[in-house]
């Protein structure tokens, strides 16, 4: 049986979380078009009759981490990279120019002395391609795959190579705490991430980077409804007003979309009690 840990690396927004979600078959990491969507590593278990794989989805490395949160995200990612892994998937987005940020990630990948696979994502995209800027990488990686993380293009071929490169292990070597599909986050963190995703998707460019979500309570009511009490924290009262919206329209909209997805994920009726709070120091407190 093939058993191993696969580290996913790449710049922010290359599609690592989308790849993991579609490979696992359900959402284990939030996604949005904005950088800094993923703030900590997600470890998820993939398994079939060939074996078991722990995929480690890392936050993207920021080339210039100017704010405190980006610096801490980079630090966390660098710590994850130091973990013992069996294989590295280096994912690039050919619709983005190669720059300093990409060079930094590639430099880190080069230092990991494990088998590596180069994955070129977004082959389905109609945007301008900068693939010629990445052609030199084909000489550094013995295996190169072009995929669409969104449409699962070439997943089968990629997974065949992944299993081929992973070590053979006996069933006695499998950790006892492997839980399908999410390994390292509890229900409160998972729900808070779903709420934060909706803020990223529904608010402007600046606000998502000034917010986080906290789940304070999850309980089952006698009527069978799951009650969830949660807060969105933001750094300034002006952002709080924008998150609440005129006559509370925006928070109702965020809460409605989050509640529907949580209910779908847990297959139960959900009452989401969502509020907005101003906390200028949430980055220091929670990160």
Rounded Cα distance, 239 and 52, in Å: 44
**Three-state SS at 276:** strand
DSSP letter for 269, please. -
165: domain CATH number is: 3.40.50.300
Res 216 pLDDT > 60:
yes
How large is the average pLDDT for residues 118-124? 96
* Residue 146 confidence (pLDDT) above 80: yes
CA distance 8 to 48: 20
> Does the residue 162 lie in any domain?
yes
- Residue-level pLDDT at 93: 94
Closest CA to 59 of 105, 11, 99: 11
Its domain, for residue 82, covers 2-173
By residue count, the chain amounts to 287
Predicted confidence at residue 69, as pLDDT, reads: 55
CB 236, CB 278: distance < 8 Å: yes
Q: Domain check: are 110 and 251 in the same one? A: no
CA atoms within 13 A on the CB side of 72: 12
More confidently predicted of 41 and 20 = 20
Answer with the residue of higher pLDDT: 39 or 21. 21
Contact (CB, 8 A) for 9 and 81:
yes
- pLDDT tens-digit readout, 45-88: 888 899 888 888 876 554 454 555 555 555 655 555 666 789 99
Q: Which of 146, 173, 200 is the last residue of a domain?
A: 173
Q: What CATH code is carried by the domain that includes residue 274?
A: 3.30.300.20
Longest Cα–Cα distance of the chain, Å, equals 62
pLDDT at 202: 85
CB atoms < 10 A from the CB of 140, how many?
A: 13
| Same-domain pairing of 102 and 46 | yes
pLDDT score of 196: 86
- Residue 259 structure tokens: 């509640």
- Across the chain, the runs of DSSP E, i.e. the strands, are 2-9, 42-48, 51-57, 87-93, 116-121, 143-146, 211-220, 226-234, 270-278
**Range of weakest confidence among 160-164, 234-238, 266-270:** 266-270
C-alpha 1/C-alpha 51 separation (Å) is: 5
Domain shared by 194 and 79, yes or no: no
131 and 165 fall within a common domain: yes
Same domain, 43 and 104: yes
What percentage of the chain exceeds 90 in pLDDT?
A: 41
Rounded to the nearest integer, the mean pLDDT of the chain is: 82
H helix count then E strand count, the chain: 8, 9
**Cis, bond preceding 181 (omega within 30 deg of 0):** yes
Decide if 179 is inside a domain: no
Residues 175, 9: contact at Cβ < 8 Å?
Answer: no
- Cβ proximity of 58 and 80 under 8 Å: yes
Tokens of 150: 């969104």
Looking at residue 35, what is its pLDDT?
A: 52
Residue 212 makes CB contacts below 8 A (sequence gap 6+) with: 192, 196, 232, 233, 282, 286
Residue 178 lies in a domain: no
Domain boundary among 123, 144, 173: 173
165-215: pLDDT as tens digits: 998 876 555 555 444 444 445 678 888 888 888 888 888 766 767 888 999
Verify that 19 and 157 share a domain, yes or no. yes
Residues 6+ apart with CB under 8 A from 266: 226
**Phi, then psi, of 239 in degrees rounded to 5:** -70, -35
pLDDT at 72: 59
Q: Which of 52, 51, 77 shows the shortest CA–CA distance to 62? A: 77
Is 69:48 a contact under the CB 8 Å cutoff?
Answer: no
Count of domains for the chain: 2
Q: How many CB atoms lie within 10 A of CB 51?
A: 18
As to burial, measured by CB atoms within 10 angstroms (0-12 exposed, 13-18 middle, 19+ buried), residue 114 is middle
Give yes or no: residues 89 and 52 share one domain. Answer: yes
Q: pTM for the complete prediction?
A: 0.70
């Amino acid at each position: 049986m093939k058993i191993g840990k696969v580290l996913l690396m790449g710049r922010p927004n290359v599609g690592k979380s989308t790849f993991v979600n579609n490979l696992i078959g359900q959402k284990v990491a939030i996604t949005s078009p904005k950088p800094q969507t993923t703030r900590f590593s997600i470890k998820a278990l993939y398994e079939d009759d060939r074996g078991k794989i722990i995929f480690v989805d890392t936050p993207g490395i920021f080339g210039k981490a100017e704010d405190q949160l980006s610096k801490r995200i980079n630090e966390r990612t660098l710590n994850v990279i130091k973990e013992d892994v069996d294989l590295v998937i280096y994912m690039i987005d050919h619709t983005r120019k190669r720059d300093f940020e990409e060079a930094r990630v590639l430099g880190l990948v080069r230092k990991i002395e494990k088998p590596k696979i180069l994955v070129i994502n977004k082959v389905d995209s109609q945007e301008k391609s900068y693939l010629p800027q990445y052609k030199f990488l084909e000489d550094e990686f013995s295996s190169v795959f072009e995929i669409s993380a969104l449409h699962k293009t070439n997943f089968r071929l990629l997974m065949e190579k992944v299993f081929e490169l992973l070590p053979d292990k006996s069933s006695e070597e499998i950790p006892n705490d492997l839980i399908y599909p999410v390994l390292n986050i509890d229900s409160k963190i998972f729900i808070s991430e779903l709420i934060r995703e909706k803020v990223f998707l529904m608010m402007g460019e600046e606000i998502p980077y000034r917010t986080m979500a906290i789940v304070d309570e999850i309980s089952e009511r006698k009527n069978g409804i799951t009650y969830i009490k949660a807060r969105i924290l933001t750094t300034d009262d002006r952002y709080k007003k924008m998150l609440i919206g005129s006559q509370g329209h925006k928070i109702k909209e965020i809460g409605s979309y989050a509640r529907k997805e949580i209910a779908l994920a847990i297959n139960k009726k959900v009452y989401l009690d969502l509020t907005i709070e101003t906390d200028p120091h949430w980055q220091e407190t929670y990160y």
